[in-house]
Amino acid sequence: MKYYIIAGERSGDLHGGNLIKAIKQNDLQAEFKGFGGDYMHEAGLALSVHYKDMAFMGFKEFLLNLNTISNYIKQGKSEISEWKPDVVILIDYAGFNRRIGKFCKDNGITVYYYISPKVWAWRQGRAWSLKANIDRMFVILPFEKAFFKRKVDWEVDYVGNPVLDAVKDFKPSEDFKQKYQWPADKKLIALLPGSRAQELKYIIPVMAEVVKKNPQFHFAVATVSNLHRDAYKAFEGFDNITFVEEATYDLLTCASAAVVTSGTATLETALFHVPQVVVYKTSSLNYFIAKRVIQVPFISLVNLIADREVVKEMIQEHCTPENVSAELNQLADDSERRRYVMAGNQEVYNILDIGSASSNTGRLIVKYLTERR
């Protein structure tokens, strides 16, 4: 069968690559085409557009790039119409993929969604349009299944979480510690500022001040290759800092604690059993809008899954070097606070541990398509 897949972000590319491998195990004749990245391409996707060309974060950035996004949507629709896949599989990337989903539904094309848009967080009414336009939904957070049933009476498939799959599959590099040679007399603190330039612009100055205020620690910044080194310029000149490129999981296996920008990385950090401070800062405009539309009590996946505050969330004006440093020092010590967070990390791990999300989803996709035939 023919599978057209669209992933528009770094995490979607990783999970999309694993999904392609899982589908291949259930459909030996599978062909793949679509939008994604290096992981999906290596797994067998004929790549039309790389996600790096579509990664716009925040309301302001989205508005400034509307024309570019519109052209990519047109390209996706055109390729789907010409290639005639058996199914279009959408992975996260809500604003873009919901439009593709409606197009598919209007044109009688089977469309599945893997990793649901976060409609439970804001604009919950969009759950109705998802139900109307998507044939099958595969969700990765346990509370999402209950949300869709309660909100729009829609039975969706909870398949487990691909982040846990990635953490379980990870094999630490044997020479990682030797390569960086962290100081033996200082605890190692991981700094995970994110993978988008818009995120780094606001959060890195705060993290740099945290480094300055805490010479008793050695810090390691998780950098990504798609961002120019200038994005990390505020970190330069400190003796107690190291840059670690494209090796976040290796870094988390060594870290005593972490400071993490809100996003998927908060869940990854928890699943590696590293206590963390969650931080988030954006432009005044983005924050003004977000504050009025978000309908959940937390921004970190750790707290949302646990349904309570496990990790401290320091957002916007509360995201100060002083606040972050105070929490970080508690987490780095053998304190009651550290033990509380570590217990919460284990709780989240146990909740998500129901088997491989990629394998479950790949099997169900092929099963449902075969039944439709």
Q: How far apart are CA 229 and CA 221, in angstroms?
A: 12
User: Can you give the pLDDT of all 373 residues of the chain as single tens digits?
Assistant: 999 999 998 889 989 999 999 999 999 999 999 999 999 999 999 999 999 887 665 555 565 567 788 899 999 999 999 999 999 999 999 889 999 999 999 999 999 999 998 888 777 889 999 999 999 999 999 889 989 999 999 999 999 998 998 899 899 998 898 898 899 899 999 999 988 777 788 999 999 999 999 999 999 999 988 788 888 999 988 999 999 999 999 999 999 999 999 988 999 999 999 999 999 998 777 766 666 666 667 889 999 999 999 999 999 899 999 999 999 999 999 999 999 999 999 999 999 999 999 999 999 999 999 998 7
Instruction: Tell which phi-psi region holds residue 181, choosing left (phi > 0), alpha (psi between -120 and 50) or beta.
Output: left
Task: Note the pLDDT of residue 125.
Answer: 86
Task: Note the pLDDT of residue 228.
Answer: 82
Q: Which one, of 246, 244, 249, 272, lies nearest residue 181 by Cα?
A: 244
The answer to whether 47 touches 18, Cβ cutoff 8 Å, is: no
Task: Note the pLDDT of residue 61.
Answer: 58
Task: Note the pLDDT of residue 64.
Answer: 59
CB-based burial label for 170 (10 Å; 0-12, 13-18, 19+) = middle
Q: How far apart are CA 141 and CA 145, in angstroms?
A: 8
Task: Note the pLDDT of residue 368.
Answer: 97
- pTM surpassing 0.85? no
Contacts of residue 203, defined as CB under 8 A and 6 or more positions apart, other chains included, come to 193, 194, 261, 279, 280, 281, 319
Beta carbons within 10 angstroms of residue 280's beta carbon: 23
Task: Note the pLDDT of residue 130.
Answer: 96
Q: How far apart are CA 370 and CA 373, in angstroms?
A: 5
Name all domains of the chain by residue range, CATH numbers in brackets: 2-160+354-372 (3.40.50.2000), 169-352 (3.40.50.2000)
Task: Note the pLDDT of residue 113.
Answer: 98
